[in-house]
Structure 1
Amino acid sequence: MKLKFSLTYGTMWGESLHVQIEYLGYDGSVRRHNLPMNTNDGRLWTLETVALGSRHHPMSAFRYCYQVENAAGDIIRREWNMVPRIYPFDPTKDYTMPDSWRDIPFQYHMYTSAYAVTMYGSRGEEVRPLPTSLYRRTLLFRVSAPQLKPGQELAVCGSHPALGGWNTSRYMKMQYAGQAEWVLSVNVMGMFFPIEYKYVVVDAETSAFVAWEEGDNRTTGDKEISDGEVLALDGGFLRVSEDVWKIAGVVIPVFSLRSSFSYGVGDFGDLKRMVDWVVETGMKMIQILPINDTTKTRGWSDSYPYNAVSVYALHPHYVDLEAAGVLSDKSRMTAYHRQRQELNALPYSDYEAVDRVKTAYLHELYAECGWQMSGTEEYRTFVEKNAGWLMPYAAFCSMRDRCGTAHFEEWPEHSVYNQEAVRRYCDANQEDVQYVYFVQYLLHRQLLEAGDYARSKGVVIKGDIPIGVCRDSVDVWMQPQYFNLDSQTGAPPDAFTQNGQNWEFPTYNWPAMIADGCSWWRSRFAHMEHYFDAFRIDHVLGFFRIWEIPLDSVHGLLGHFSPALPLTSGEIEYFGLPFRKDLFTRPFINDSIIDRIFGVHAGYVRDAFLISGPYGLYSLKGDYDTQRKVERHFVGMHDENSIWIRDGLYRLISNVLFVEDPRQPEMYHPRIGVYNEPVFDALSVEEKEAFMRLYNNYYYNRHNDYWREQAMTRLPVALGNTRMMVCAEDLGMLPDCVGSVLDALRIQTLEIQTMPKQSGLEFAHLAANPYRSVATFSTHDMPSLRMWWEESPERTQRYYVTMMQKEGRAPEHLPAHLAEEIVARHLYCPSMLCLLSFQDWMAMDGELRSDAVREERINVPADNSHRWKYRMHITIEELMKAERFNQKLRQMITRSRR
């Protein structure tokens, strides 16, 4: 059996084209080969190889894709392979494949499981090699047709009588191979080439002709087919225009859901109940926040859903308790029902109280029926399939609770992960470990059930993947090679956080991740695919560059972008700024600055924290020369004066003009936002001008191509061939390259009217939203629509006049009819997805919406100790009964053609 490949593709010097072939055995085995192709002109690439089956491992099929490699063997780019080219293996045939390179199609969304769920109520079938008839001389047609509507099929009609002779009543029907792929094999013995043809759409039930595909006729080419040859014509994508696909949905964290069955926090049972309301209103998507376990201390700090201790384990709070099992002791159930009523009576979710109640219930349930559940085949299968992460996670939880800390470096034993030692620990602590397995199995089963139920109703559940993981997490413990533990991540200053954000996650060691094909990321996405059909990449900018902060910093001001291209002293001087390392990289402190920052406390600060030096300058004492040291000194001091002094010292420490790169000595990053700091005022006029030239070049020009290259290296490999719809949170300080990268990868952008991406605008025009985008008014990090309306009357007035085109004074509080108009404008915008927060949907009804506007905020990014506690003010059952409101939503969504 010979395989003959040919492809026209323009390469650059040093690049070569390769074919990645996989032979699939009947026994599930896969044999992989990466074969270089040949070329004489750098454009036409060919390869002929012999594929030999094995008597012991017979092959059922083969699949392949093309990739570009450099001289070192690194993969420069891969063609789109979500829908693989796959053919049945016949050792008696030779296959000839004249192909074209496949870029990600513009209709990419139509290949996602999110699209399939809303259109067909299921994820669709995986592409498979059909038992296709192969003849002495075979012409094999193949084309991808995601544009077909339910009830339509594909056929071939062409110039030869065997293909209908262009008669639309004599076409040849094709077979569906899954994932929008259609195939047809034709016996061409005695036929003369070339043959012209086109694909046609036909009605599946009546077989009536529906439409020709557009464009010129296709052709088989002049080459005659030999005996024993299969000519496989991959036709690419069907040339038929698709209908515009737009949907609406609601954004709400799982912990915010409320029903009469929940225990003070939303759970996966509530998520399933929420699907019914979404169906009732005509929505098609529910977007949630991360649901991974964040348990470190069992205190309020664990309510932060982006601080996961495992990227696989689900949070125990989300177990629907009574769906998991009812205790046989009726008095205990009565007690728990009383606690449920008390927790549900609260206007918010009390994290610590919920943790106590749910943990106690689950322990009692495990003691009563855990042994019975662990004996089921489904349970054993779950444990076996997930053992790679489940066993280390269970050991981590056990040692965290026994040692009283999740900081594994402080554990007396097992502080360094060793697989065999952890296995022995689990064997010796079966009760702890089996309890964790039990809880994770319940969570898995309930989330899977919610996802399947949503799909059956045509509803997509969209997950959220945090950009970072907790430093004290199973992932860092198990695979420290993937993380830079000498730094932490965050975000640079913005309109909401003048000191930047410090998330305290370790940064990723991307070279190590790329070296093994981003297996950690791919495994993570594959696991999410069990539950979700779409997901949001939190802070997608982290795939371009991350804001890296020194470990000894509290704020984000002393951070720098990583990877980046820091400046040498020579480059700095090239911009006209004479470089003085000590003066520019150490905190600049003089009497004027001390008096300005500390006021009446200036004398005390000089004596207690500073050392006087030459030229009227000061330095910080060794006990206070980093922000972490200052933080530790002021622990427990919450009076106004202590906070004033502490924050002033933080500011002194960050009062530097440049930050030296931690991994490249004698190379420097201009400190972000330093033009607002006292050290900048100390420069001469000429020095200020030189610094700003340098600063603007560094932050807005220097890195565009570099960061584009980083993202194009990381994102396609990390995402792999996931069928989930990918949506990006692309807010913040955006490099110019972000838009083009997301567009090339067909990733949905996030469009917020009050955070325009075009500079110079206060508000974005909704009509200018790109089609491949998510439109919303607020995120969990922002105030709700009603809160935003009340925050700044001046800004609201400008929005009222310019965006809403109203006259007169804007009302102080947002009335329901104006909220309805704002929502309607979002529904009618071009964005593919319109996903509004639950609070903003409710703003349209003056009777149903909450009276406590200030309680609608989910998170305040500037507050590191913020409690994530927002909860719906009414139950899902009450929502289902709000017929007038639900009918209004359905009408608005239907009329906007979503």
Structure 2
Amino acid sequence: MVRFTVQYYTEWGESLALVLGRKKYPMTWQDGGVWCVDVEDPSTEDLKDYTYVVMKDGLIFRPEWGHHSSRKARVIKDKWIDCPFAGCDFTRGHTAGIFDVPGFRCAGTAVPVFSLRSRGDMGIGEFRDLRPLVDWAVGTGQCVIQLLPINDTTRQGGWDDSYPYSPVSSFALNPMYIHLQDLGIREDKRFREDQKRLNELPEIDYPAVFATKTAYMRQAWQARGTKDTAGAAFRKFCTQNSLWLDEYCRFCAQRDGDTPEYHAWIQYHLDKQLSEVVSYARSHEVYFKGDLPIGVSADSAEATYHPELFNLDCTAGAPPDFFSADGQNWGFPTYNWDRMAENDFAWWKARLRKMSEYFDAFRIDHILGFFRIWEIPVSVSSGMYGHFNPALPYSSDEIKGMGLPLSDKLFLKDLRRKGFWHPRISPVLDGLEEWQKDRFNNLHTDFFYHRHNDFWRRYALRKLPELLGATGMLACGEDLGMIPDCVGEVMAHERILSLEMPMMEKGRPWPRLSVCATSSHDMETLRMQQGEDPSAGACRDILNGCLRSDSMMAIFPIQDWLSMDAELRHPKREEERINEPANPHHHWRFRMHLNVDELLEEKALGLNSQIRSLLAENYRLFCLPK
């Protein structure tokens, strides 16, 4: 038995808990503000990384700045770890310590891996292409490179596989981002012909890329697979990733009719290639910001082996909004959060820990999904027929008591609670008396904007502090659209950076803890947003306006950075857009019209000088604090 003690003076209603071995142990107060708990035979591995948290109303209220490490002893006496910096914005320390420096400001670039172009790739961007992009970031004074999701989306090699937010694994990397030459593939005549055929295309031909690269990967497996899989490095990789790798490889082997070892071998080389680039970037104080998709596909390895973690009778999406008048149906199941909570969200924490091997910051895609999700029955396709989950629907008696009819033009049945109803997001009020219309409109406003605020706040705080404490990544939330008040409150409490855009103002000044951007992969680029194609100078002014803001980070799509140079910008602005959210079968095919190496050449000196000047003027150059 080991006794853990820590001194902390709590306020009324607070208590302490020890987080050890992915479990929370409630602690007991003793005289002198000392809290203690006895743990039976903790492992040496668990003692290498543990922490304490302040609990309030059954939820994590405050974390420690850092974690503890200790040797085994009968009594372990710890001191609460507070932030070492006066004036720091955060309550948790980050692995990229520069983020925690008071007054820190920076700039960065957003670009999908698949959109990169180089002379050595094969029709699609690869992890190796990130290295010259890191050099460009260093040369222009940027320190963040933001990517779209990089997980495996492989199904049949068609266009649906190009959708990065529909992974078949939340852990595995996408095989299309592998560099074939590092597998021993020689650049012979056939290789160069294939390369020329695919790289001459202005956009990605995903099915052709998939077929070509897969054939070369199979060739490399036959040539060196046996030798590689017998090596100590491969065995170490498999052991360290056994939590997800075994299931994923069996899943892929069953899909493709081959051996699990082949897929483990591919993941080993992907991890090796990406890890080398990440190490290079970190050594140059450039940090990758990842993207955490809110969903996991119903045909994924996770849903196959762990169906209890998902609601497979529904799909997630979004209500009608700025992006889509009919709403969105993303096609993946919603989460069974109650089941996930039974083991303190172990699956989520493992997912984030894997992500943190490559990223020092991450974007939480659709952060609203941690408060509530727009849930659509699998029997329908339109997002118009969805409702919030969780929610506080009205009972039949409540609706009748308001004098309103139980009409399917006004209400949708709750899928799991008989006799309860959700107001439709887009009701049809024809046939109602004027007083009934007024009453329904008041009910509608209350339901969608006020009724759930405290309910959703507590629902998010039940899990977000647990997940944020699992790694040292800086968290940024995508909080656009129909946002209840509780979202901003929780994000501020948990120090999650918000997303700010000139095109989607929120009616308040941009806060310091935010990421500002001119556009995103789901929107028109900066040039496309204007009536006529704006001049390079006009684009520079817009970018400068964002850089002047109080936002801690200013991260612009690479298309928008290039818009400042009339010679380097894309010749056709209408081809700059990456995604059309209203189209679930959109082909993700945007590719840079320049080789990324060209950003380091003489032709880009003017652009690079402009970027450095803008960052210097706005105290963002080289990430120096203001």
- Does residue 719 (structure 1) correspond to residue 546 (structure 2)? The answer is no
Which residue matches 1:619? none
Which residue matches 2:618? 896
Which residue matches 1:267? 126
AA aligned opposite 1:673: S
Query: 1:33 Cα deviation (Å)?
Result: 8.6
CA contact (8 A) 1:519 1:718 kept: no
What's the TM-score, normalizing by structure 2? 0.92
Q: Distance in 2 between matches of 1:687 and 1:781?
A: 38
Aligned length: 617
What's the TM-score, normalizing by structure 1? 0.65
CA contact (8 A) 1:577 1:691 kept: no
AA aligned opposite 1:107: D
Q: Distance in 1 between matches of 2:134 and 2:519?
A: 22
Query: In 2 relative to 1, CA 682–538 (structure 1 residues): closer, same or farther, beyond 3 Å?
Result: same
1:381 is matched with which residue: 220, 236, 241?
236
Query: In 2 relative to 1, CA 100–366 (structure 1 residues): closer, same or farther, beyond 3 Å?
Result: closer
Query: 1:458 Cα deviation (Å)?
Result: 1.0
Which residue matches 2:623? none
Q: Distance in 2 between matches of 1:878 and 1:64?
A: 47
- Does residue 314 (structure 1) correspond to residue 63 (structure 2)? The answer is no
2:415 is matched with which residue: 662, 673, 676?
662
Which residue matches 1:20? 18
AA aligned opposite 1:386: N
2:298 is matched with which residue: 471, 490, 497?
471
AA aligned opposite 2:512: Y
Query: 1:65 Cα deviation (Å)?
Result: 1.9
Alignment of 1:279-428 (within 5 A): 279-327=138-186, 333-402=188-257
1:37 is matched with which residue: 28, 34, 55?
28
Which residue matches 1:81? 64
Q: Distance in 2 between matches of 1:863 and 1:94?
A: 57
- Partner deviation per Cα, 1:828-870 (whole Å, 9 max, x = no partner): 1111100000111111111111111111010001112210000
Query: In 2 relative to 1, CA 114–844 (structure 1 residues): closer, same or farther, beyond 3 Å?
Result: same
Q: Which has the larger radius of gyration?
A: 1
- Does residue 65 (structure 1) correspond to residue 48 (structure 2)? The answer is no
Query: 1:734 Cα deviation (Å)?
Result: 0.2
AA aligned opposite 1:114: A
Query: In 2 relative to 1, CA 49–450 (structure 1 residues): closer, same or farther, beyond 3 Å?
Result: closer
Q: Distance in 1 between matches of 2:400 and 2:514?
A: 43
- Partner deviation per Cα, 1:701-735 (whole Å, 9 max, x = no partner): 10011110111111111233310111111111100
Query: 1:79 Cα deviation (Å)?
Result: 3.3
AA aligned opposite 1:823: L
Which of the pair has the greater relative contact order for Cα pairs under 8 Å at 6+ separation? 2
Query: 1:57 Cα deviation (Å)?
Result: 8.5
CA RMSD of aligned residues (A): 3.0
Q: Distance in 2 between matches of 1:5 and 1:443?
A: 42
Which residue matches 1:578? 404
Alignment of 1:647-726 (within 5 A): 656-674=409-427, 679-726=428-475
Give the match's secondary structure for 1:108. Answer: coil
Query: 1:753 Cα deviation (Å)?
Result: 1.0
Q: Distance in 2 between matches of 1:786 and 1:5?
A: 56
Which residue matches 2:10? 9
Give the match's secondary structure for 1:446. Answer: helix
CA contact (8 A) 1:742 1:748 kept: yes
Which residue matches 1:170? none
Q: Distance in 1 between matches of 2:87 and 2:226?
A: 50
- Partner deviation per Cα, 1:87-120 (whole Å, 9 max, x = no partner): 67776x9959699999x9953288312344x8xx
Q: Distance in 2 between matches of 1:714 and 1:458?
A: 31
Query: In 2 relative to 1, CA 57–286 (structure 1 residues): closer, same or farther, beyond 3 Å?
Result: closer
AA aligned opposite 2:497: Q
CA contact (8 A) 2:479 2:498 kept: yes
CA contact (8 A) 1:383 1:390 kept: yes
Give the match's secondary structure for 2:440. Answer: helix
AA aligned opposite 2:490: V
Q: Distance in 2 between matches of 1:831 and 1:522?
A: 28
Query: 1:5 Cα deviation (Å)?
Result: 5.0
Query: 1:84 Cα deviation (Å)?
Result: 2.6
Query: In 2 relative to 1, CA 62–53 (structure 1 residues): closer, same or farther, beyond 3 Å?
Result: farther
Query: 1:887 Cα deviation (Å)?
Result: 1.6
Which residue matches 2:624? none
Q: Distance in 2 between matches of 1:392 and 1:2?
A: 37
AA aligned opposite 1:827: L
Q: Distance in 2 between matches of 1:94 and 1:266?
A: 50
1:741 is matched with which residue: 490, 499, 506?
490
Q: Distance in 1 between matches of 2:24 and 2:429?
A: 59
Q: Distance in 2 between matches of 1:309 and 1:61?
A: 33
Query: In 2 relative to 1, CA 96–435 (structure 1 residues): closer, same or farther, beyond 3 Å?
Result: closer
- Partner deviation per Cα, 1:460-497 (whole Å, 9 max, x = no partner): 11110100011100000111111001111000000221
Query: 1:693 Cα deviation (Å)?
Result: 1.1
Which residue matches 2:332? 505
Percent identity (aligned): 38
Which residue matches 1:782? 523
Which residue matches 1:522? 349
Query: In 2 relative to 1, CA 269–659 (structure 1 residues): closer, same or farther, beyond 3 Å?
Result: same
CA contact (8 A) 1:465 1:537 kept: yes
Which residue matches 2:394? 567
Which residue matches 1:113? 95
Query: In 2 relative to 1, CA 879–688 (structure 1 residues): closer, same or farther, beyond 3 Å?
Result: same
CA contact (8 A) 1:6 1:99 kept: no
Query: 1:533 Cα deviation (Å)?
Result: 0.8
